[in-house]
Amino acid sequence: MPEALRRAALDYHLQTRPGKIEVVSTKPCETQRELGLAYTPGVAAPVREIANDPDAAYLYTAKSNLVAVITDGTAVLGLGNVGALAGKPVMEGKGVLFKRFADIDVFDIEVDSKSPEHFIDVVTAISPTFGGINLEDIAAPHCFEIEAALSSRLDIPVFHDDQHGTAIIVAAGLLNALEIQGKELADARIVCLGAGAAGIASMRLLLALGADRENMLLVDRQGVLHGGSENLNPYKSEFICECPERTLRDSMAGADVFIGVSSANLVDESMLQVMEDRPIVFALSNPDPEIHPARAHAARADLVMATGRTDFPNQVNNVLGFPYIFRGALDVRARHITRSMHIAAVHALCALTHEPVPREVLDAYHLDHLAFGKDYIIPKPLDPRLCDRIPPAVARAAIEAGVARLPYPAHYPPYETE
């Protein structure tokens, strides 16, 4: 990181008051009567209501709009296992994004845990506080075990953004890119470099959307996952193939799609040159992609490319997903986030990209024109229509899946105030 940027980032977090978040009261507490309503004796009334009916907590507390952003600090950004406390700035930042894009309140929680079992127990114990749990920056393969266990134990939505958030945006962008390139997902030969949380979740979601497992190659540090691969965890084992390819270079020959969720500069021009006609390249390593866009476009004039960076077209950015997915889930008080809710978000993102781009979005990105095509396969993060499109689609999917407590989205308590 350049020194000027490092200093600016530290000053940003330090200035005025430390950190990026605060807790603000939503009710007045200026008079004796208001004090008596906020705390004793008045607070006893909602306590009794909740004791008689736990779902009343959605009416009388912040639970209905409160998400926990929780980490153990084992996989923070690209910095690795820096520990729970060092992950706190990222968790606070996630809270800022939830509030900015979907008006969802967040408590960030950093768990100093040395085992998945302990982490699961801690999160389970504190879960009554929240309307949803967003797991963040937890290393694979433990992240899979943790999410599955919590989803099974809890009756509120549990979502691991590094898995499903990435997968949803990748899938939406890829479906649009395939349309532009005149290809079908069921026929596309897909190479994914990176067999951690994002890679495995993306391949699982693409399978649910209609991709052919026989056309998928998953590549980790040891090469293509195949029948002779050693020391594979159960999650990687899902994607073993019986194939002659062993290296990334081997796998790229004839591929229609490359998805990189790994590390910088692992792909060169010669690898792109042996891909199929009209290839699709998602080089999502941040801040430095698997191959720089300038090199990629120089190698293949017929490609569609996406990265994880804001300074190139087609940014695959999780902020397009997680705030709005939780908004939709909270609006119907969902018990879980299902695969059908993931898919609903994918299709909502795809559809929005086909609509005319409003002037306020163009102005935000200093653009004169933007339309569905090679440089616009996914909506821009500052598009205000995201909150109008994705939450209703997710809420509808939750209702249809039978995981919603409410038969329709409710933003306000169903009672009359004085």
Is 20 part of the annotated catalytic residue set? no
Choose among 294, 346, 312, 322: nearest CA to 176. Answer: 346
User: How many Å apart are CA 151 and CA 145, to the nearest integer?
Assistant: 10
Paired tokens of 388: 């109008």
User: CB-based contacts of 194: which residues, under 8 Å, 6+ apart?
Assistant: 219, 220, 259, 260, 261, 262
Contacts by residues 31-34 (CB-CB < 8 Å, ≥ 24 positions apart): none
Choose among 392, 330, 401: nearest CA to 156. Answer: 330
Please identify which of the residues 94, 183, 236, 380 carries the catalytic annotation: 94
User: CB-based contacts of 352: which residues, under 8 Å, 6+ apart?
Assistant: 379, 383, 385, 386, 389
Is 114 part of the annotated catalytic residue set? no
What 3-state DSSP class applies to 338? coil
User: How many Å apart are CA 82 and CA 87, to the nearest integer?
Assistant: 7
User: How many Å apart are CA 146 and CA 154, to the nearest integer?
Assistant: 12
Sign of CA dihedral 160, 110, 194, 154: negative
Q: At what angle do helices 166-181 and 197-209 cross, to 10 degrees?
A: 50
Please identify which of the residues 12, 39, 365, 408 carries the catalytic annotation: 39
Active site residues: 39, 94
